[in-house]
A and B are shown apart, each in its own frame.
Chain A
């Protein structure tokens, strides 16, 4: 069996087994899920070493006939591997954090099974070489995330999840509409093949409409600014580890990844699209930062901040230059790490004190030293202070903007970064600074396994800057950026022989 199949078979099998036998192993379920995700992460690392990238795998042995792909194909390139690494690593850390923080919930085996299905769906989206397979896996992960958001089954969770489902459902319909249009135009669903068919004909108006549908549909999933209204409700309502995986990877894998894949490899960045991406990114970046500054609920603050960081990624990807793509991918990886860590911190604070309102909190510095130290590192990272990871990626984005001839955008990004800093100073000051409050006598630091999860992520926040070192950059970021910056020409690589 091909190793790529493990990314789908193993999570699916684990999810089914957890539902069936979970009754007896529920005590160990968190560790099992964590180990499975870690093993998959190791598999990604192995793929980096042994395989010649990019390559495609024909499912069930349905090989292409005369260069025309017939069946389902998995496409594996640098970009896919980077996303797979982020998905499975975050899954492992989130499962580790869940062990103690999810203890107060019932039906835990279903929680872990849904977490595995979420991982399965995202792995599938990352690997899918054709549009409809991507849609199916998108729905798998979307449905698991709807249920995970409402896992607490309170009134607020249900309402937030309902809103998420309605907007997510509309987004899926728009995406399906666009897929049907692509099929009508090209007669194929394979992205590379469709791109090749399309290069021979001119259908600008239809492609403009299809592109707009894709941008709206995946933009809703990614919560780019005009389409963001579900995110500040859904992400705070979810349990802390679920918020971490939703903000950390789900919005990127279900939103940004397919957008980049389609726009670079299929629709092409000619014409109006660069401008639209830059404007959308600039709006998300600034408005979400201002809204984040106004929040008093910790998790809502973090959720708005996610939208603004998505804005950075959209700007960097929209530039279309090689440096911009590297910067965008680097920021994506960094954001996964520090936003997961911040949601873990918020979860730890809520777990220890029972509140999320910054006005009621304060003086947690001495009571929760590990949470304090790790959240300080994460806040500095997201605000872009040197030498933390966020600084390097934001610096790269600003340089890329300058080089692409958008100095105004560079200043805009720097201003946004200052607003982020202000929002996180507010978080640090009201959450951890100030005098002790009376209720704090009984507060304890969170459990050991949660501390381990936070410490691992904090070390990565410090260490991610190393991705800029030439050796690591050429091994991890450059293959991913390279495959995207080749644009439409890259698709010939996926069609194989």
Chain B
């Protein structure tokens, strides 16, 4: 339960960073923290107490508790997607820096929703 709570706190830290910070790189870091928290949460969902790696071989015993492999597959996919989105965000901040000479959102903000 403590582990779950810590993951939630990590997620909340990321969300707080995204929604309050005014520096582009810090916003991106907030998103990355949220992603990491999500990946940890998925791994926790699949974790079993004293579980072993879910590989069935000829002489593996059926009695051993195995961890759930599906969340691990999901995390791999989520990491790849996270890599793509982070790379794209960083590429955009490089472009924005070239246009404005700053990464501070307060100085950039032309658009107001």
Contact = CB atoms under 8 A, between A and B. Distances in A.
A156 B111 contact: yes
Contacts of B78: 176
Contacts of B93: 162
A232 B113 CA distance: 6
B113 A156 contact: no
Contact of B85 (A165, A180, A183): A165
A350 interface: no
Contacts of A230: 113
A305 to B, nearest CB: 15
B64 interface: no
Taking chain A's interface residues, is the majority helix, strand, or loop, or is none over half, making it mixed? helix
Interface in A152-178: 153, 155-156, 158-163, 165-166, 169-170, 172-173, 176-177
Contacts of A172: 81, 85
A189 interface: yes
A165 B34 contact: no
B31 interface: yes
Interface stretch (A8-16, A139-147, A238-246, A275-283): A139-147
B13 interface: no
B27 A233 contact: no
A162 B24 contact: yes
A147 B85 CA distance: 11
A233 B111 contact: yes
B19 to A, nearest CB: 8
A177 B27 contact: no
A471 B111 CA distance: 47
A228 interface: yes
A156 B110 contact: yes
A132 B100 CA distance: 38
Given A170-B15, A229-B113, A150 B84 contact: no
Contacts of B111: 156, 159-160, 163, 233, 237
Contacts of B113: 163, 228-233
A478 to B, nearest CB: 36
Contacts of A177: 11, 38, 41
B110 A158 contact: no
Contact of B45 (A146, A165, A180): A180
Contact of B110 (A136, A139, A150, A159): A159
B66 interface: no
Nearest to B46: A183
A228 B112 CA distance: 12
B77 A173 contact: no
A165 B89 contact: yes
Interface string A453-476: 000000000000000000000000
B89 A158 contact: no
B110 A180 contact: no
A170 B18 contact: yes
Interface in A84-130: none
A183 to B, nearest CB: 6
A132 B77 contact: yes
Given A158-B92, A162-B89, A183 B31 contact: no
Contacts of B71: 180, 183
A359 interface: no
A75 B88 CA distance: 31
Given A156-B110, A166-B31, A233-B111, A143 B85 contact: yes
A124 to B, nearest CB: 13
Nearest to B96: A158
A155 B92 CA distance: 10
Given A184-B45, A229-B113, A233-B113, A169 B89 contact: yes
A173 B92 CA distance: 20
B95 interface: yes
A162 B84 CA distance: 14
Contacts of A153: 95
Nearest to B28: A166
Interface in A229-268: 229-233, 237
Interface string B8-50: 0001001100110000100100010011001001100100000
A155 B45 contact: no
Nearest to B109: A159
A52 B63 CA distance: 45
A170 B31 contact: yes
A169 B74 contact: no
B6 interface: no
Contacts of A232: 113
A136 B80 CA distance: 10
B38 A155 contact: no
Contacts of A229: 113
B100 A155 contact: yes
A165 B24 CA distance: 12
Interface of B: 11, 14-15, 18-19, 24, 27, 31, 34-35, 38, 41-42, 45, 70-71, 74, 77-78, 81, 84-85, 88-89, 92-93, 95-96, 99-100, 108-113
5 nearest A-B residue pairs (beta carbon): A229-B113, A155-B99, A233-B111, A173-B34, A184-B45
Given A158-B95, A170-B15, A183-B71, 6 more contacts: A147-B88, A156-B110, A166-B31, A173-B11, A173-B31, A232-B113
7 contacts: A155-B100, A155-B110, A163-B111, A165-B92, A170-B31, A172-B85, A230-B113
